Structure formats: C-alpha cells, structure tokens
Amino acid sequence: MELALATWHEVEDYLRTSDGIIIPIGSVEQHGPNGLIGTDHLCAEVVAKGVGDKIGALVAPTINYGMSQHHLGFAGSATLRPSTLMLVVRDVVQSLAVHGFRHFFFINGHGGNVASVTAGFDEIHAGVSLGDGTKTARTKMVFWSGGPRGQKLADELYGASNGGHATAAEVSLAQFYQPDHIKHAQMTPKVAPSGTPFFEAGHYRATYADGRIGSDPSLSTPQDGKRLFEAGVEDMVEMYQAFLLA
C-alpha cells in the first residue's frame, strides 16, 4: 500500500492495525558510465514497494534527494546539505507521528545519507513533539542490500567486482526496475580502482574519473536485478517485522 496512492480514510483504517511505515530514501547522483543518476533512490523504492506488496505495509513517498556533495563534480548530481537532510527526516517523521505512526523504517540506498539521517533521528529522540505524547517514535534505517540474502547473492554474482560505488548489484536492480532505461558503456579499466581516499567533489572526480569505485557494472543485468530484488525484499520483510516489535 502506497501512502501517495491512498486516501486519508484508508490511512486511518491502516492505523487501526499497524503503526509502522516504510520510508525509502536515496540520492540523486552519478553512478558511473552505465548507472542511472537515480540509482540509489530507485533501488530503495523498488525494494520498499516489494515489501509493501508482500505484507501489506504502508510505504511513504521516496525521499529522492540525499547528501551527495562529494558527487557534484559529475553532471546531473544534486545534493541536500547535511543539515537540510537532517531536518527533512525529522519533519517527515514528526508529521506522520501526529497521526499515530510510531515505527519508522527507512530503507536506504546511499551511504552518504547515514550521518545526516542518524542526526535527524537524534533530533527526533531529543524531544520533538509526537502527537499525543504517550508514545515515542521508533526509527531505524537499513540498506536495501544489507541483509544476509542480498549480501550473499551479490557476492555470488560479482565477488570483489561488485565494488563500493556504482556497484554491479545496484545497477542490476535499477535495470530490473527500469528496463526501458538500461544503458551500455565501455568500462576502462574493466574493474575501477579503489582504496584512495578523497575529499571534496573536485578531488573525487580527479581520483575516480568515471565515477566508479572498485566496481565493474558492465556485469549488471536485469535478470540479476530480479534475483537481488527478491532477496532484498525477503531480508527487509524480516527486518521490518522484527522492528515492529521494538
């Protein structure tokens, strides 16, 4: 069930049986020569919707923009400031909590979001008003790819060539979700370099010229993406259902 496609009456009915909601979050940033700029939020979104379809959980609209300042050396990337993302997370949770939601499960697609989203959670737990005041919010963020099934499958499919950014797994999942927008590009070298630290956006671009870090997304296929989707949904269902008991 998608919040954006529900009426307020349907949301009230949902809240009679559950106080949980899933919030996909990602970024708008480069993902190498064949990865879509929306890869991170697309991956989080498709897995979140899969969880919603499987167990009837309510899924909020995706927070598409994330903290991606280090990607601004590549055309099309866009970012929120860390402080802005922190407040977006706080305000979304605060708004939904007014209506009785108490368990907020963020499915994340971008590592750069972690610090800001965690700070947003801290703002919530530091005394933000939560409706009737009788219960406090519970917040949790997990990577769509972070469960045991997803990690094992990515290792089996790509090994070390999965990489750290513009990974073969995330590009595959985006290809499965958006099959009309599959891109092809030459990878030189086939597996991107990794291990060199970087600082601001210009230094990132100078260090990793095509945007990849340690990955070979030329290995990506929508068929792999379907398998990664199914594994990710199973992992997230288990994590979400356990979280609802907190």
- Band the pLDDT of 135: cuts 50, 70, 90: low
Asked if the model's pLDDT at residue 130 lies above 80, the reply is no
Confidence (pLDDT) at 111: 98
Asked if the model's pLDDT at residue 131 lies above 80, the reply is no
Strands 103-108 and 58-59, sheet pairing: unpaired
pLDDT > 70 fraction of the chain, expressed in percent and rounded: 96
Q: How many CB atoms lie within 10 A of CB 13?
A: 11
Q: Cα(228)–Cα(231) distance, rounded to whole angstroms?
A: 5
Residue pLDDT, tens place only, 63-94: 999 999 999 999 999 999 999 999 999 999 99
Asked if the model's pLDDT at residue 18 lies above 60, the reply is yes
Choose among 211, 214, 217: nearest CA to 171: 217
Confidence (pLDDT) at 133: 54
- DSSP code string of 9-30: HHHHHHHTT--EEEEEE--B--
Is the peptide bond between 33 and the residue preceding it cis, with omega within 30 degrees of 0?
Answer: no
Residue pLDDT, tens place only, 105-117: 999 999 999 999 9
Geometric angle at alpha carbon 130, from 129 and 135, rounded to 5°: 125
Confidence (pLDDT) at 246: 87
pLDDT > 90 fraction of the chain, expressed in percent and rounded: 93
Choose among 113, 95, 104: nearest CA to 139: 104
Mean pLDDT over residues 144-171, rounded? 98
Asked if the model's pLDDT at residue 16 lies above 60, the reply is yes
Asked if the model's pLDDT at residue 128 lies above 60, the reply is no
Q: Record the pTM.
A: 0.96
CB 25 within 8 A of CB 40: no
Q: Would you put residue 79 in left (φ > 0), alpha (ψ -120 to 50) or beta?
A: beta
Q: Cα(41)–Cα(181) distance, rounded to whole angstroms?
A: 15
- Band the pLDDT of 134: cuts 50, 70, 90: low
Beta bridge partners, 35, equal 31
**6, two tokens:** 């529900």
Q: Tokens 């801290």 label which residue?
A: 122
Domains in the chain, ordered, with CATH?
3-243 (3.40.50.10310)
Asked if the model's pLDDT at residue 129 lies above 60, the reply is no
Asked if the model's pLDDT at residue 132 lies above 60, the reply is no
